[in-house]
Amino acid sequence: MVSVGTIIWLASELMFFAALFAAYFTIRAVSPDLWAQETAHLNVPFAAGNTTILVLSSVACQLGVFAAERGQVGRTGSIFAVKGWGLREWFVLTYVMGAVFIAGQALEYVELVHHGVTIQDSAYGTMFYLTTGFHGIHVTGGLFAFLFVLGRTYLARRFTHEQAVSAIVVSYYWHFVDVVWIALFAAIYLIQ
């Protein structure tokens, strides 16, 4: 039931982001000259690297889910023996990569504000910060979810099926956030 509820909730989140995409492309169609001028300030290579980190975090998250499905909550052997990693190690790595992504977004915001691209400055700035900002809020929510799952693994006396389901549901959310970012990256950075 938790998985089904999560999928239904993610469908509503999809509608939210669809509305943001619709607004972005509508305003872009109305003022193409503004878009050409403002997108020149984007640091596409930096954003591509940040995107790569987020996509790879989804891989790490899924490896953590595979470990949870095996019932392996912690690592076996050395921390450097990646093949022996369990749910905790993979989810900690995912968390770190997600936090690096958010830090990268913050650095990008600072750079764009320095160039005069602000939320109140133009329609482009408004749509850029709304779309990427709401996505960043969702990533931050995912980071809290990882902390919740990790905390449960340390507090529980034994790893149960319910904990594995929690890890799977968090992975659904994380993969959703990653796919949304890939679409945002394509729309904002590649289709200039």
| Residue pLDDT, tens place only, 55-93 | 999 999 999 999 999 988 888 888 888 888 999 999 999
Query: What is the greatest pairwise CA distance in the chain?
Result: 61
* Distance (Å) of CA 95 to CA 43, 83, 123, 174, 175: 24, 19, 33, 10, 13
Closest of 152, 178, 192, 138 to residue 54, by C-alpha? 178
pTM over 0.85, yes/no: yes
pLDDT tens per residue, range 90-136: 999 999 999 999 999 999 999 999 999 999 988 999 999 999 999 99
Domain ranges for the chain, please list them: 2-190
Sheet strands (E) in the chain:
none
Neighbours of 12 (CB within 10 A): 8
CATH 3.40.30.10 is right for the domain spanning 2-190: no
